[in-house]
């Protein structure tokens, strides 16, 4: 195989590891230092993907709206939510005041 193929695979692997590290660090920071707030599910994005075998998988991305402690209304991507979550449902979230668009669900 072409050596560039292996270089491309290595670069992609390093990028994936870096992305995971930043995601874990952000989650940990929000969990440790985040401010809790009540949020409302503002919309749910549904994406259907076809698999190699012809079947379909559906993924859902949840967005919430909430008011920060300084009065700013923010819509943020939550990612996952409890089963059967619908638009209009209320959830408890945590966010960092300096980056309110990064939120996690309070469990």
pLDDT at 25: 86
Q: Which residues of 68-102 are buried (b: 16+ CB within 10 A; e: fewer)?
A: eeeeeeeebebeebeeebeeeeebebbbbeeebeb
With cut-offs at 50, 70 and 90, classify the pLDDT of residue 53.
very high
Query: Rounded to two decimals, what is the model's pTM?
Result: 0.76
pLDDT at 41: 97
d(CA 45, CA 77): 10
With cut-offs at 50, 70 and 90, classify the pLDDT of residue 15.
confident
9/102: higher pLDDT? 102
* pLDDT surpasses 90 at 42: yes
Pairing between strand 90-96 and 56-67? Answer: unpaired
């Amino acid at each position: 195989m072409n050596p560039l193929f292996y270089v491309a695979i290595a670069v992609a692997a390093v990028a994936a590891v870096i992305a995971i590290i930043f995601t874990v660090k952000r989650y940990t920071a929000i969990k440790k230092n985040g401010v809790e707030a009540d949020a409302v599910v503002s919309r749910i994005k549904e994406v259907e993907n076809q698999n190699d075998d012809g079947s379909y998988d559906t993924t859902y991305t949840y967005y919430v709206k909430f008011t920060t402690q300084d009065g700013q209304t923010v819509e943020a991507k939550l990612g996952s939510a409890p089963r059967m979550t619908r638009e209009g449902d209320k959830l408890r979230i945590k966010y960092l005041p300096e980056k309110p668009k990064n939120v996690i669900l309070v469990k």
